[in-house]
Structure 1
């Protein structure tokens, strides 16, 4: 054990530094995302979802950096990963819309001009209704929109970014911030 510690001292120090940097980055990223969510008045559940995505990304980066530090033979690992990614690629190609909705959900978190409680009109030829919808919820894959008659429309995030959306009524327009009925 002592021989292992002495022969891999530099790798262990670099790994410890990497872990510390990843923890600091995670803390700063979480704090930044929460601050953006608070400033933008975004629902806590959406903020937690984006925080989870950022943590997964940092974890993958950390695994890559640590494997580079320890000198993993990338040719052998590359063969395994290329096989795995080929299978995953075929599976994801079949469900590309899921990935586009998740990506659109993350983009909408940071730049969506509408909030829960706003009334919007979506200019889409496939939506037959001309009446505005109330934004009830914004999730990772879809936005829940409700008509005044109670009908619920679950609209994919990627279409929310592709179609023209008009703000009819903002929930911030009332003095008490309550929703219009």
Structure 2
């Protein structure tokens, strides 16, 4: 009983924070899904963005809990900077993973092209004309007219020039 008396403010603040996290997760999910429905974005992409936003909310909630329960801000900054340094060094060789995730989120919200569009990637060494089959967190699945399946990293879509073609790969027979 003395625990409850001693930490009443922290317990109340923790309860309020948990309610706030729950509400924020519901609100962000609802807003992202409403945006996806309005722009006709595929459910798979929507779920990925919702998952990323929930992860961000959870990380912020953990930091808030640490502050509520009395850890000094300078100690948090030291811990975060240490972890960030280790992760930064470890991820330096894997920057493309972060770049692909960021590009996937940008593609979700900016939607310059959609599934079913035929695009031309202007690469002097390996030009591609293909139809977009799927847009995932790390890559875009493309299918050429010949049926070849290409997995193209999201970050390269922002580094190369892209044209959205007007025609699709429907096999049509023309008779004179």
Query: Root-mean-square deviation (CA), in Å?
Result: 1.9
Q: Distance in 1 between matches of 2:13 and 2:80?
A: 25
> Equivalent residue for 1:6?
5
SS at match of 2:150: strand
> Equivalent residue for 2:127?
128
- 1:98 aligned onto 2:97: yes
- 1:147 aligned onto 2:144: yes
Q: Distance in 2 between matches of 1:34 and 1:96?
A: 29
Aligned length: 171
Q: Distance in 2 between matches of 1:158 and 1:83?
A: 28
- Which residue of 138, 141, 147 corresponds with 2:135? 138
Work out whether residues 120 and 127 of structure 2, in 8 Å CA contact, stay in contact via their aligned partners in 1. no
- 1:167 aligned onto 2:157: no
* Offset of residue 54 of structure 1: 0.6
> Equivalent residue for 1:89?
88
Q: Distance in 2 between matches of 1:170 and 1:33?
A: 31
Q: Distance in 2 between matches of 1:145 and 1:100?
A: 19
Q: Distance in 2 between matches of 1:51 and 1:127?
A: 34
> Equivalent residue for 1:174?
none
* Offset of residue 169 of structure 1: 2.8
- Deviation track 1:47-74 (CA, whole Å, cap 9, x = no partner) reads 1111110110000010011111111145
